[in-house]
Amino acid sequence: MKILIADDHPLFRDGIASLLLAAGYEVVGQVGDGETAVTEVMRLQPDLVFMDIRMPGIDGIEALRQIKTRRPDVQIVMLTASESDAGLVEAVQAGASGYLLKSLDADELLASLRGLERGELAMSRHAASLVIQQLVQPELSETVAQPEDLVERLTPREIEMLGLVVEGLPNKAIAVELSVSENTVKYHLKKIWQKLRVQNRTEAATWAIRAGLFPQQDE
């Protein structure tokens, strides 16, 4: 996996780069602002970008939008100092593959990377809960149309699995909970996404809550 790091703090960039290189990942570049990030993504063609949400010039969210317009396949994980950052939902709606705190430790960062490689969002359960709670508000999302029609397409097993997604469990934990392999989980989740006409876990969880399948729980 080729990785680009975009952050306006050189020491932080160097620290992440050193960690990734030691773990066997290829760091193809480091940049300090959003505009350069967009340019370097086009030039270096990374698979993943770690993007600071607050940078000089165009911020990380605007850079995310511009990159996704030109390279929709590239994964972008936003970096922030706080999970309560107002840009969290905006970043996910713009296509971010995750949202990580800068205070996380090395093992957590690498675990998030492995999750990305398995097709999971790089996001804590708390952050995922915050995103879902905001996205289910009608004024922020119109993703659910006639949910009762789509509910009928789901099997009981798929509804059970969808409930675990709503809880924020990654694929490995779902596999353990249901006593199946991770490949089986991936297969069923892919079928669920197709049936619900969604693209990822956050959209699926948002759909499920707005459809009334699972009650919301306060953290």
pLDDT band at residue 138 under the 50/70/90 scheme: very low
Whether residues 8 and 109 fall in one domain? yes
Whether residues 37 and 103 fall in one domain? yes
Whether residues 112 and 76 fall in one domain? yes
Cβ(17)–Cβ(23) below 8 Å: no
Whether residues 115 and 161 fall in one domain? no
The separation between CA 218 and the C-alpha centre of its own chain, rounded to angstroms, equals: 21
Cβ(120)–Cβ(100) below 8 Å: no
Q: Which structural domain, as residue segments, surrounds residue 51?
A: 2-123
| Model pLDDT for residues 14-63, shown as the tens digit of each residue | 999 999 999 999 999 999 999 999 999 999 999 999 999 888 888 888 89
Whether residues 14 and 48 fall in one domain? yes
Looking up residue 158, the CATH number of its domain turns out to be 1.10.10.10
Is residue 141 one of the residues assigned to a domain?
A: no
Is residue 205 one of the residues assigned to a domain?
A: yes
Three-class DSSP category at 6:
strand
Residue 167: the pLDDT is: 81
Task: Flag the least confident range among 99-108, 136-145, 177-186.
Answer: 136-145
Q: CA-CA distances (angstroms) from residue 104 to 19, 80, 107, 155?
A: 13, 10, 8, 37
Mean pLDDT of 135-143: 47
Tokens of 210: 């707005």
CA distance 93 to 49: 17
Is residue 215 one of the residues assigned to a domain?
A: no
Whole-structure pTM value: 0.62
Is residue 131 one of the residues assigned to a domain?
A: no
The number of distinct structural domains making up the chain is 2
Whether residues 117 and 196 fall in one domain? no
Residue 132: the pLDDT is: 61
